[in-house]
Structure 1
Amino acid sequence: MPNPQDALPLPPRPSLERYRKLAKELVKAGKSHDGNAISEWTNRWIETLAQRAGSKPSLADANRTESFAREKLAEKCTLTNAQFVIARSHGFESWPKFTRHMEALTRENSSVGRFEAAADAIVTGKLSVLQRLLHEDPPLVRMRSTREHQATLLLYVAANGVENYRQKTPKNIVQITNLLLEAGAEIDATANVYGGGATTLGLAATSIHPELAGVQEPLLQTLLDHGATIDQPRTAGNNHPAVLGCLANGRTKAAAFLASRGAGLTLESAAGIGRLDLAKSYFNDDGALKPSATRKQLESGFRYACLYGHTGMVEFLLERGVDPATQGDDGQTGLHCAVIGGHLNTVKILLQHNPPLEMKNIYGGTVFGQTLWSAAHGGDPEIYIGIIETLIAAGAELPARHVPVNPRIDGWLEQHGSYAEPNWYWFGEEPRSNAEKDELGNY
């Protein structure tokens, strides 16, 4: 199934008849002996959507949709399955729900049309448009989306969990949030995303968009001021409470902010935000864990401390007997996590405890391989050269060939006997066409 967040946008003035025709064309492509027929169908559809929306066609959308269409039509090449592909690709659970949504959009002043317009107004910062819509249709503020996630309008301010093309944070999002709440929005309404139970507070805290817009803390404070529950067990999705959800998504500032506002902390989350004072309270004088903490929390907290460079916390937990070889569900050890975060001092502390250098994560990456991947995906070359030097000095194997990283690191590695292989690509990133090659670059 496609991720509901990957929903394709509907074009302006969508036609249900066009979509019925599109489904029939997909069936025809699926029955064709031409192996490229489904790919060509997908590309035409994505290009048409992009043209009508005035945007560039997305290769990721095309690849994802093509893969899903091939999967469903391989099960059974029927009109029902083709219609399901289209409905799911737009974020709806079924073709009947999709058609009801489309039919509602054609009715003048329908509540569905108003909801869609209000959602667009929220993510584009059009406060006056939102005010007008709420004035004309007061129940709108508690209505839910007809898409799978069933989000209320307030949940759209989080820029998380809903369709990706609406995950945007305008600078006036706090004003918009206040408007919605004063109009009667339910503060702790949940959305059917990330396993269910996610609230606006949890989604906003774990979203990168409010952070990049520089409004995350004011937005969170506004929600708290209006009574948002800070410690619902699944508020951040994936069964995560707020602070832990922030740590799992790289939102360390939001994690610390919520902790300062009274969010509950376990040993795991205390370690993740570097609260050594609180972490100590989970151990007896002899170094043994108290019943209020678990070994799983200890090991996960250790990896978070490594990931975010809380070196003092890492030293403390190592002294309390945590195994540096402990792996998370993704196979990452503390050392893997430290190199992902680019924390050289943490790497040096870990190396004093003889962690395994060649242990692999679920992607097949050793610590050295993870270092190169992290450097290739936005890491500071100078920091990562220091990490590479340190790992090699500790005995990490230097491969004779490696996937291209960046000119600075590739040059350093070549001087030390490892050569970039120009035809190698990072896992999952090998281009499938010349156009995709242009978009991805040389990785």
Structure 2
Amino acid sequence: MPTRNLPNDPHLDHLRGQAKTLLKGVRAGSSAAIALAAEFHPVSTLADAQLVIARSYGFPSWPRLVRHLELVDRYSRSPHQQPVGGPLDTPEQRADEFLRLATLHYGQDDPARQRSAVALLQRFPEVARSNIYTQVVAGDVDGVRANLDQAGVEGGPYRWEPLLYLTYSRLDAPNQLEIAQLLLGNGADPNAGYLWSGLPSPFTALTGVFGRGEGDQPPHRHRVELARLLLEAGADPNDSQTMYNCGPGCPPPYDDVHLELLLEYGLGRGDGGPWHARLTAAHPTPRQLLEDELVFASWAGLLHRAELVLAQGTDPEGVGTRHPVFGGQRPYELAAVQGHTEIAELLREKGAAPLDEVHEVYAAAMRGETPDVDAALAARALARLPHLPVRAAEIGRTEAMQALQRLGYDLGAVSGGAAPIHRAALNGHVETVRKLVELGADPEVRDPTYGGNALSWAEHSRQQAVIDYLRDLPRGTGTR
């Protein structure tokens, strides 16, 4: 049965309200409510409606959904919402400020925070000895030894275990590997983690070691050694947030260090570990993690990553491969359309089905060939992938621009938060920017989020060749 994702930071009162609304809708003859009940369970009582709501989110019963929400509440943390720069009048305030500054929290992380942590430590050296959490981050191995009875105790400003403060710290502190061994040998949980504002992908100790993510945070300087220590101690390699942070959740360039290590220790196998057991339907299975990784590797053109995943026996036609982030396309469709030829050939060897007629049109256009199609097929193509020109510009597929325009795409239109010229400028594809302008795209078009034009996108990523080209354009170029 098709299911939907729970809202971010879900609350029981909200879901109870959904059940009451469903029951009212069924009694009032609402077609949407009746269809939902028909899909999951007949509704005549509030208990029936609660069961439908639970099943629609992938849970077998209402009590199981309630239990899930209790777990979310137990593990939810919001470190990014804790401000810094407050009073430093007491030892406790100074210790908490030090920990907030020294660690990643995946909000507005900034290297300046770590520099401020060092400055605070220089001003108040005693902060390093405040408690086991500051000792871990400052590298005070003797202090940690004296407090090993607290190796698995939550505390500090984020209510984290000491191991999390160590793995999320980005200070250049000594003794990190020795301290990690001491903690793990004295009760620290190698699967320690938390749910960032209640989201169902746990930020584990492994997640902290590998860093990256949407803000492209640096990994721990001992990422491989620390990760191996955690995995040897029993950390489950099916780590969904690490896979996201080092994959679709971060910008290029990419390496495969995390993937090779996690595969070595069983990524894609087993029962998913304690976090999967806790979160059940809200958390991907080991197989789904590999399927999603194959989708991403095919989209991004990462041949070695695709080889690593396919070597595990991952089915290129698996049900999990229709990933919504990539328009519901199969790995082979993503690779073939974008011209990632080696990946496409590998996927076909592993059993991927051929392209349908719409994707054949896309592939031809992306090669720079003007597709000879009737109006109906062209309309289907435009409707299915409205963002294709943006993606083509993002990867610098200059030869595709005119073919896509002839197919019927508006190369100046904003789609998915940006126009093609914005993405080309951001990534430094000056020839693509030039071609878009020649074809009538307006370099002054503004994106809806930041209100930036093509020049501001280029300036944001310091793409000097694009900046120079755009600044030299006569006023009014590209406008229609």
What TM-score bracket applies, with the shorter chain setting the length?
0.3 to 0.5
TM-score (norm 2): 0.44
